[in-house]
Amino acid sequence: MTNTIFFKMSEIPSYQRFLAEFKRRHVFRVAAVYGGAAFVLLQVADLLQEGLQLPQTFLTVSTVAVLAGFPVALLLAWLYERTPDGVIRTPDAAPDEIDEIVAQPPGRRWPVGIAAAVGTALLLVSSWWMLGRPEPGAAHGRDYSSIAVLPFENMSGNEEDAYFADGLSEELLNALTRVPGLRVAGRTSSFALRESNLDLKTIGDTLGVETVLEGSVRRSGGRVRVTAQLIDAENGFHLWSQDWDRELTADNVFEIQDEIAGAVAAAMASGDEPIANSESAASRDLVPASVRTSDLDAYELYLAGRHHWAPRSPDGLFEAIRLFEAALELDSMYAPAWVGLAAVYQTLPWYTDFPVDLAAERSTEAGRRALELDPDNAEALYTLATTIFQYDLAWTEAARLFKRAIELDPEYSQGLAWYCWFVSTMGRWEESVPWCERAVELDPLRVHGLAQYGDILLLVGRHEEGLPLLARALALRPDFGWGRMQMALGLVLVGRFDEADENLRSYARIAGVPGGEASASAIIDGLRDPSRRDEAVAAVLSWVDHDENQSWLFANWLALLGAREEVLGVVETMMETAPVGYSSLNAMLVTEILRGEPRFEAAIATLNIPDPPPEAEAITW
């Protein structure tokens, strides 16, 4: 009998005896539990690192600690076991104990081994994901050429400080536009995604960018703490992150902006995280002295002014003027505040009943003062050019200013949209199209840019291409009056009268015109049925009397209704009163319909457009 047992034991391979010993000492069980727990812990660490914006080293240290603990846990499982009397040294196997384990059927032997393999695999995979995953830039020699700056989170616990976080984000965006070859998504689109809860890949796809810069700002006790991180939008990899904690002074705020912009530029150029304090990550003068102030209060007033200007609400525009003027009282040499003042006055007549002449005068004065202080300020050049062409009809000087602005900053989306408008009003409709298209590419969620691009396409006869752009604008802002008006116009041009009626009625509700929605329907009915034309013309004229500033829009409907005398009367009144849309007389649907009519040509002549008009700038993208 003894010889038979010995013979059977000798048939058991040594590796099976070794694995059986692992099972007896519960090593497999510890491996399974440890691996699974480590996987969960590393996922939590990854979420904490991103959510709390902890440095990248947090993940590295966590992963190394988990990996180092694995062999220690296995060794302790081999040496010790837990009993009712406490933890004791694992005794040697009893006679035949190993043989009994080996002799167990596979259904009892394999599960614990499989669990150990799965746990070990989870540990290794999660560790590789944290440490060994290839950096996208380093692995492929990739550099990045586009970025969106999301609004930094206000961590100060005070809603009134939101403008400071927003302002810092916008200033960083402006600084990054000074990096050669870098395309920066427009402010409007980036900020529109603030509450979207979209993942980074969707944000990247929506804005057409490869990377996203996000972060937070905390002000407390005379200090400012800024956290910034650059992320690959395609896969969520953190390319770079860093914290700044400094005394809250104007100089320090500008230095932080410059250092962040420099580090981002270095990381995007190489795909690698820039070395702290290295030459590549150091200041690149991306926030030049010409856009700085040494007065912190003046800077905060300026940021608050930008915050109130952005939504273009009537109350916000007047508050922005007050804030910009207050900033200039503290530092009259602060060029950006002059630019902000020029921009607000330039747009004021479009949103309020502020006198056009006075707004034009103040915008021009502020714009010229800004350029005296900073001759290469692209935003000032764009703003002044737009003011003097639309209000003063100074076409030649505006063309010169636009040319210089485009040379300095060819990717300022608002400026390119203004230039598109300028080129179209000179009668170069087809040449204006690429500039509106480029403005939308740079700022794809900017409502006015989308609507303007759609309007230009309607003007050149590309109706089916223009309507989707207007629809996108209205999806973003359903109460956008001008967009509703142009959408209705475009739908009439393609014969979709029911939809046109719906949109024109929406415009009537928004604008509060005489006759309300009934008058809007009367206009559409007049286009459908010539017998109702007189009622439709009367409705349009009542709208003109209600708001002469919008008469340049209403003239299109009179032209479509064939009311030749009435539309010429509106045009001649525009010559006398010069409303905000007067300079656009050469870029409307009515322009093409009335071309060759002596009275209309006389009105166009009062615009003093050079013959031939200045050529559009060359396309460089």
Per-residue pLDDT of 8-48, as tens digits, reads 444 556 666 666 666 676 777 777 788 788 888 888 887 77
- pLDDT for 530-567, tens place per residue? 999 999 999 999 999 998 888 888 999 999 999 999 99
> Looking at domain 410-621, does it have CATH number 1.25.40.10?
yes
**Beta-bridge mates of residue 247:** 223
pLDDT exceeds cutoff 80 at 191: yes
Q: How many CB atoms lie within 10 A of CB 452?
A: 27
Please state, for a pLDDT cut of 70, what percent of the chain lies above it.
Answer: 87
Domain ranges of the chain: 12-133, 140-287, 296-401, 410-621
pLDDT digits (tens, 9 = 90+) for 43-71: 888 777 666 656 667 778 888 888 888 88
Quote the distance between the C-alpha of residue 506 and its chain's center. Answer: 28
Which position has the token pair 């500008």? 254
pTM score, two decimals?
Answer: 0.76
DSSP per-residue string spanning 437-463: HHHHHHSTT-HHHHHHHHHHHHHTT-H
**Strand, helix or coil at 349?**
helix
More confident residue, 7 or 145: 145
Query: Which contacts qualify for 278-286: CB closer than 8 Å, 24 or more apart?
Result: 283/255, 283/258, 283/259, 284/179, 284/258, 285/258, 286/175, 286/176, 286/178, 286/179, 286/257, 286/258, 286/261, 286/262
Across the chain, what does the average pLDDT equal?
Answer: 86
pLDDT at 54: 65
Distance between CA atoms of 591 and 461, rounded to whole angstroms? 13
Cβ burial, residue 621 (10 Å; 0-12/13-18/19+)? exposed
Residue 74 neighbours by CB distance under 10 Å: 19
- Side-chain half-sphere exposure of 562, counting CA atoms within 13 A: 10
Same fold, 140-287 and 296-401: no
Q: Considering the domain delimited by 140-287, tell me its CATH architecture.
A: 3-Layer(aba) Sandwich (3.40)
Helix axes 395-408, 378-390, angle to 10 degrees: 160
Spatial distance between the Cα atoms of 517 and 529, rounded to a whole number of angstroms: 18
**Six-digit token string for 221:** 């006790």
pLDDT in tens, 159-177: 777 888 898 899 989 889 8
Q: Which CATH number fits domain 296-401: 1.10.3720.10, 1.25.40.10, 3.90.1300.10, 2.30.110.20?
A: 1.25.40.10
Burial 351-366 (b: 16+ CB within 10 A, else e): eeebebeebbebbbeb
- Three-state SS across 458-524? HHCCCHHHHHHHHHHHHHHCCCCHHHHHHHHHHHHHCCCHHHHHHHHHHHHHHHCCCCHHHHHHHHH
